[in-house]
Structure 1
């Protein structure tokens, strides 16, 4: 992020504002990504998809604020799309295997 900001020909105040906005969004993205991982590991009933979507949304905001390519948008499309029956079965099978391995 710092490299992108240094390459821009803006005044210092504008750079500071951009850097703070990008950092705040990136921090929130990391926080929600951590929540998602913790909830997944705990086998919680909370919506992992919703937590993951929030992490990705904050990552998109960070990338937009920093003025870099928004690669997080592709992740958002993967989470937002409805999974097929085969994908759901595969996820259930994987969950059963994880549960069996932990016992």
Structure 2
């Protein structure tokens, strides 16, 4: 399952709830075609990695998070492990390698 985060408060709560689990967040917008293409495979990842938390943030709804992480282009994927941010690749295979190395 993929959770949807729409504010800084929801984001902070999710990271706190996650504890030491890996959290993967896809920043996207409904109007973004590359985001739609990425979603086709991103939406399959929770089944492959049930011990990882997957979330999505619509950049049109969460401007506070866009500003905090200085997101200038989408799609944009960030990983968080123990509260530490790790930039991820938008490439499926590279992202899977990074998830494997961090989980």
Same topology, TM > 0.5:
no
- Pair member with larger Rg: 1
Q: So what's the TM-score if we normalise by structure 2? A: 0.31
- Please report the TM-score for the alignment, with normalisation by the length of structure 1: 0.31
The structure with the largest helix share of the pair is 1
- Compare the two structures and name the one with the higher strand fraction: 2
